[in-house]
Structure 1
């Protein structure tokens, strides 16, 4: 008998149907020659933080017959720009991307770079233009990334608020610091001609799920850009091939490249969604660009638990499992009901999601909008340790029947593991 579909509500966001492979290899650090030298690892970290989505040489996976959306074309263009930056970090600058991307090029290198630009323009992406600059005004990707890495290291040593971002329009690194930062830190920042400093009043930290500090925990509730729109963090995972770490969120909360913050604390951007890459079709996106913790919030955010692994298949039907709900700011207990759909757990819910599992919350409790992406976990005898089961997608028919996406399916699709350290 076919299962009759009931009412389904995704707990946040607009669906964005795209696909892309996760990074699958590690780059060895290797210094580049010349006074503008930067290691490969530092360059990669800088590009990550600047929202470039694809490692060099990796290509996108597209479903047959899927029409390219504007976001897909933008993603492809940004990836091609990232490849250009990797190949010519000392010869080109960061592109101004308001409209058609305009890449600053050192005047003496214009002929060399033009062939690479023409190749990108010939692949039906958004056109990319060049702007020759003389030595006095030109700032290379390598130079700005060196400044970015320097400020990043300073920020990690200072117990004060610092926000920093590459500004392609000014070809400078905008750094915002709170009043009271030690004078020696300010002097060190001022020695870099590419750093523009602004000051702000000290921040009042709310703590817990609403204003976490690095490394960021699962079950927190960051904000997308300056929109006020929030969604919950899930689990820290690690790609087995590259060793690179990511944080999960619900895919339906994200478009590719969306940036997330606690206030002005940057916690990463969405690099991929495994929703239309057969046979996975998962409601899980990945964030990168910040430091993440192998822990999740418990209770009302006053305590945490370390994730010690993941359990395949969602555990045992009938078992009590937990939900660390970001927006609700509390922990729910429910009964695991297993896969209630097709053999692969797929259901047509406006978009087709797969590997869905169900949990019925106790006492007719229900979740709120923006609880999407929250960790679903299995208890252990130690309250400070849990096993990852999945992340919240929405509710099904009854408001207290919550659907979540099996974390093991994501780990298989991305050749990753739940990070435990």
Structure 2
């Protein structure tokens, strides 16, 4: 049985390669250069649009651990990134033109891969299909995907608040409570007095915004219904105090002090390791986000695992739709990977492509689909996007906040991350050996 992969970005390139490694014929569809997207400049596969960096090389960093996991699983994307790397300090960066051309030629010359330059306007209804069309999915395919999934499970505009690691919140200042003490104490609350609030407000009003790309400028019309926190601040000194920072109904159980304003954080994952700043969707530059949001009492040392964003982005509500094999629950022969599923970053796209491609091949061969251990970075990322709260689902990059905690708590962050790495790689190799995956040491 032939597999069809729709979309020739990093996820689709990786998926098609992994299908072929299992000896299964694959058709890889890419609409460029016949029809260009507003972000791309060439017709090459796996074109890197925003940056030439895959993130930190060191394997005790989240991105670096994901690199190493993919190396050990025979990733074509990371293999070519290693081959075409350029000096970038501690980051894995590539000569992006050479990198994309090499991948294009390598896949086009593979005897089991047929590269087809045409737009797929509807989800193929038969056979095994992998969707990897990314955040700029064409309008016709996005409409068909919306019909298949249900409109409530599709997003076309990514307005996301920053997410921080719970262990980095100062609970000598912050406290757990729900407004008016209704239900469980589900929110973390960071109180501000008048002086602290006014300082935060002034800095937020003056903070530097990120420049919107041309194809993102149309999303400005959405801002009125989902205002960036900095725009809310500019509308008046007290606007935020009647919005996401309103203090009414919140009481610190440790004392009876009244608050001038309160910033709330909501639990983002099952384990309670990640916390989302409620109502803080923003278009500030990432460095400015860290500087300004750390002015909030209790967040002075906050460790950010995802920054706030506002831009055009097509993604599905994966917790409602996908299993951890990246198969759609309503159709096991349809899989998805990459930014379409709610992962962020080049390496995460390749990781999703690896799993979706592997499982597409296994389904085509009549084998059972597999999933990765959640103690690996790849497994934890897929576990998050398929089990997070559907109501508040936001895309997620690789980070150590989604990894299950160690049995023994390690306070030193560098040492803790090293132990995560060691556990991950050991688990991964045991898993690959047991399932006879084509892994290399």
- Mark yes or no: TM-score above 0.5: no
TM range, smaller chain: under 0.3
| TM-score of the superposed pair, with normalisation by structure 2 | 0.21
Structure number with greater CO (CA < 8 Å, separation at least 6) is 2
Indicate the structure with greater helix content.
2
